[in-house]
Structure 1
Amino acid sequence: MNFLSHYYFDRHSSNCYHILGTVLPDLLKNADKNIILHPEKLQHTDNNINSIIAGWNKHLAVDRYFHSSHFFTIHSHELKKKLLPAIGGSPVKPFFLGHVALELIIDNLLLTTGKIQVDDFYAHLEGCKTAEINAFLSFSGLKDTTRFFKFYEDFKRSQYLHTYAETHQIAYALKRICMRIWQNPFTTQHEAQMNDVLDEYRNHLFANFMSIFEEIENKLSDV
């Protein structure tokens, strides 16, 4: 799941460090795909650092349930098939495209149906002190945090997750993600054709997209 879908499960939390932890694995991956941390079983004397660890573990659980769900299997496959004719000549792997496109559509639906507020999410991130985040990263084994914090500050400043509410921007967001792996993933024509497919599939998911959140919430409550 993407940033906003992870946030949905803890949208009522007042603990900014826990919220940060629920999206930190993806923030680190986006900052530098070579950063690999495993703080899952660590315990610290600082409550804020432990809150980040708890959020991190929540992230892993949500992703595990999402990626093993019938919802993910069916819809990522259908999106892959529908997007394939729109990206002829693109180097992007179809499975990756279907996977990420589904996550972006879900984020869009959360925003456009008012299930979450992006400003609340960013406010949580702003509430976390850099020193505490740095302490967590160092404790987890990351020796040089410079690259991460450069990305993180840009992420907060740009607030580009607001654009996820604009359906016509989903293809652009998809392109941004693919550009981390492929230098020139899509042409302008690709983007236009993908937008048509994504808009149509968004409408297809509209009535039933919350079922995956209900399913995951039920599984989390059983743990």
Structure 2
Amino acid sequence: MILQDAAPDPASIDFSQLPREDLRAMQAAGHEVADCMRVLRKVNLNIVGEVLKGQGQFVRLTHYPQGDVYDRDTHAQYYYHAHRSGEHGHFHLFLRARGMPPGCAPAPEAAGRDWPAGDQALSHLIAISMDRFGAPTGLFTTNRWVTAETWYPGADVIRMLPHFAIDHAWPSWPTNRWLTAMVRLFRPQIEALVHARDTALAARRERYPDRDVYEDRDFEVLSETAIDIDAQRQAIAQALGR
């Protein structure tokens, strides 16, 4: 695994420069994130445990829950699995073509490739690393081959972020609401990661012009950063207080 051009640490994002409307939306998302975790903790449950319940033995690389989670109205999708060291596992979040805003189109390199097409042309938005207690520790982006997605330019991926929403109760209403809110709470970091993803891809292509960069098995994680829910909410509150 090679990590290139990681996005800035959350502490380096200048929240005071964000529009107040965006800060208020992030603050509301922070309340939602905290509330989802609170109601689960009251009964000794957590975000990850909700998607693993009733799924049998936890097996490396297997998608949980089986068949992934998909919202037929928003066309958002996610699954949880494990294969990286230093974490319990991670969520992969996607948006399918029918849920994307107008004008989004696969990168020109998609032409002639055996990538998902039409309504199945999904885009990976972000991955959320989780610890063994079911709490988030980081965000990262991946190369195309990792998730078998259709590659979209970063500007389009960023426009997709507000459209990610899982608005039903399977396999867990708190987990679905939590994931939806996490994308909104950490949107500045996610946008920075997506930009860094594209920068890393371009640098890799220039360094190895004879390789198919999208299928390079030595190029897996393109950008990554640690996150802290409490620190994020505090920074938002301080920015709004100004």
Q: TM-score, normalised by structure 2?
A: 0.31
Structure with the largest fraction of strand? 2
Higher RCO structure (Cα 8 Å, ≥6 apart): 2
Structure with the largest fraction of helix? 1
Q: TM-score, normalised by structure 1?
A: 0.33
